[in-house]
Amino acid sequence: MHVWKFGGTSVGKPERMQSIRTLITGDNTRKIVVLSALSGTTNGLLAIGESLKANDDDGANAKIDALKAHYDQFIGELYATDAGKTAGQQAVDNEFSFIRSLTRIKPFTLKQEKELVAEGELLSTQLFQAYLTEEGVASTLLPALEFMRIDADNEPEIQFTEQRLAEMLPQHTDKQIIVTQGFICRNPRGEVDNLKRGGSDYTASLIGGAIRADEIQIWTDIDGMHNNDPRIVKNTFPVRELTFDEAAELAYFGAKILHPSTITPARMFGVPVRLKNTMDPAAPGTLIAERTDAPAASDQVFKAVAAKDGITALYIHSSRMLNAYGFLRRIFEIFEKYKTPVDMLATSEVSVSVTIDNTERIDEITAELSTFCSLEEPDYDQTIICIVGNFSADNEGVAVRVFDAMKNIPIRMISYGGTESNLSMLVHGTYKAQALNALNEGLFSV
């Protein structure tokens, strides 16, 4: 069985939803189809939440009216029959009356915000399921809130998903298409929660892993993973094959096409991931798998570059590091205690520099580090530039080509040798575009 995920841009217009119906039923195989919210909806719902948090009920209601008008028009164009329009309208009316009910709950808390933001996927999947019914497709809507759950550390409970799907899917063997929501889940308190922005990719991968799918396909608005960020660099091109490790590095370090955690469940269960373009379904896209055996792919030294913004660098000094063991352990225990992942690390004899992207607990972390280290002022607004490729120890000249390309850009930290597939550098955020363009020119131009 395949799991296919369609992102916001792929479901954002009635004609796109219609073309997805053709795509998913084209080959007569059974699929689980994971949908995101229509493009713009999640941001729209969050904006309503911001107004409610600020006690601006008029502002919230005006935004709700505008969003509802968008859906009313969408329905008018999506369905051909009265029965289709009625089913679509009923779903929209129900969900918007729930959204309005949230505006009456005071104060507007995080719990309500999560219920509000889940409405995007609840709407898109109901509209699509009603469209499939109108079209006579044998399909059903499987509620993600009944099989997707995160634990107290916000980690998905894949075994729960595995068990629940093993119970639920056999009840629908007569259906070719099983539609479900990306992004949304429940937390240990049973409340509605989510897998963070862009999380529908992750949902698809978790489902794909849980059912040991033959393939997970992520359908979006571009022909696969490009070698650089196409929003910032001209002349990028699709990378046809990536290993799980390479794709995981790119996703984690900022390639927006994939949610950072997407690769983890796919790799765990050995399920290949294919990135495809809804606007150009015949294009080959990118295949992500355990090994890529194509000679062209494995011989290539540099494969792709990505950038992760909003990074903070901490500079930690000790006068006693000389020959000291246990110093790094003490430092990392503090990051562990405050559940703050470290992305990059550089050490010298008496100092350690690390980067973090979550600064929620930075005050507690620095206070505790200060009890046995001296700290410089953190550097905020940094960017990690991540280069992925085949950097095995025998490959000479990798660093010289990277640093030659970066010769006009100040580099604050370097990480090389952690894996054979990643070389990362930390630069101030203002150099991001310059660095991505310089690397494109230096590493990929022929």
Ligand X SMILES: Nc1ncnc2c1ncn2[C@@H]1O[C@H](COP(=O)(O)OP(=O)(O)O)[C@@H](O)[C@H]1O
Ligand Y SMILES: N[C@@H](CC(=O)OP(=O)(O)O)C(=O)O
8 binding ligand Y? (CB under 6 A): yes
Q: Is 256 in the site for ligand X (CB under 6 A)?
A: yes
Q: 225-284: which residues touch ligand Y (CB under 6 A)?
A: none
Rounded alpha-carbon distances, angstroms, from residue 139 to 172, 176, 177, 198, 201:
9, 6, 5, 25, 21
Binding to ligand X by residue 7, rule CB under 6 A? Answer: yes
Please answer whether residues 52 and 114 qualify as being in contact, where contact means their C-beta atoms are separated by less than 8 angstroms.
no
Interface with ligand X, residue 221, by CB under 6 A: yes
Scanning 125-133, 224-232, 345-353, 361-369 for contacts with ligand X by CB under 6 A, the matching segment is 224-232
User: CB of residue 73 vs ligand Y: minimum separation in angstroms?
Assistant: 20
Smaller CB separation from ligand X, 111 or 256: 256
Residue 387: how many CB atoms within 10 A of its CB?
Answer: 28
Tell me the C-alpha distance between 80 and 21, whole Å: 14
Write the interaction track for ligand X spanning residues 177-206; mark x where CB under 6 A is met and - where it is not. ---------------------x--------
Closest CA to 255 of 201, 325, 180: 201
Q: Three-state DSSP class for 4?
A: strand
Q: Candidates 7-15, 66-74, 78-86, 362-370 — which segment interacts with ligand X by CB under 6 A?
A: 7-15
Minimum Å gap between C-beta 251 and ligand X is: 9
The least CB distance from residue 353 to ligand X, in Å, is: 27
State yes or no: residue 208 binds ligand Y (CB under 6 A): no
Cα–Cα distance measured from residue 427 to residue 151, given in angstroms and rounded to the nearest whole number: 35
Q: Are 313 and 403 in contact (CB under 8 A)?
A: no
Residue 229, interface with ligand X (CB under 6 A)?
A: yes
Cβ distance to ligand Y smaller for residue 123 or 313: 123
Q: Would you say 112 and 105 are in contact if contact means Cβ atoms under 8 Å apart?
A: yes
From ligand X, ligand Y, none, interface partner of 120 (C-beta below 5 to 8 A by class): ligand Y
Structure tokens at 389: 């490729």
Confirm or reject binding of residue 233 to ligand X (CB under 6 A): no
For the CB of residue 221, give the shortest distance to ligand X in the complex, in Å: 5
Q: What span, in angstroms and rounded, lies between the C-alpha atoms of 128 and 79?
A: 10
With CB under 6 A as the contact rule, the residue among 14, 88, 120, 260 that binds ligand Y is: 120
Binding status of residue 44 toward ligand Y by CB under 6 A: no
The residue type found at 22 is T
By the rule CB under 6 A, 91 interacts with ligand X? no
Q: Which CB, 59 or 230, lies closer to ligand X? A: 230
Q: Which of 74, 96, 183, 252 binds ligand Y (CB under 6 A)?
A: 183
Counting contacts by CB under 6 A, is residue 42 touching ligand Y?
yes
Residue 192 — φ and ψ, nearest 5°? -70, 135
Q: Are 223 and 172 in contact (CB under 8 A)?
A: no
Site string for ligand X, 290-309 (x = CB under 6 A): ----------------x---
Q: What is the C-alpha separation between 20 and 278, in angstroms, rounded?
A: 8
DSSP state of 322: T
Count of residues that interact with ligand Y, criterion CB under 6 A:
13
Q: How far apart are CA 321 and CA 374, in angstroms?
A: 12
Contact 366/375 with Cβ under 8 angstroms? yes
CA–CA dist 131, 307 (Å, integer): 39
Q: Which one, 321 or 423, has the nearer CB to ligand X? A: 423
HEC string for 230-288: CCCCCCCCECCEEEHHHHHHHHHCCCCCCCCCCHHHHHHHCCCEEEEECCCCCCCCEEE
> Under the criterion CB under 6 A, does residue 199 sit at the interface with ligand Y?
yes
By beta-carbon proximity to ligand Y, the closer residue of 278 and 292 is: 278
With CB under 6 A as the contact rule, the residue among 2, 3, 4, 8 that binds ligand X is: 8
Residue with Cβ nearer ligand X (9 or 194): 9
- 352 touches ligand X by CB under 6 A: no
198 counts as binding ligand Y under rule CB under 6 A: yes
Q: Nearest distance from residue 11's CB to ligand X, in Å?
A: 9
Closest among 26, 42, 127, 35 to 77, alpha carbons compared: 127
Residue 37 site contact among ligand X, ligand Y, none (CB < 5 to 8 Å, cut-off depends on kind): ligand Y
Query: Which helix or strand (DSSP H or E) is residue 387 part of?
Result: strand 379-389
Beta strands per DSSP E along 124-231: 139-141, 177-181, 184-186, 192-194, 215-220
Longest Cα–Cα distance of the chain, Å, equals 78
Which partner in ligand Y, ligand X, none is near 255 (CB below 5 to 8 A by kind)?
A: ligand X
Please give the residue ranges that form the binding site for ligand X (CB under 6 A): 7-10, 36, 198, 220-222, 225-226, 229-231, 255-257, 306
Please give the residue ranges that form the binding site for ligand Y (CB under 6 A): 7-8, 36-37, 42, 120, 182-183, 197-201
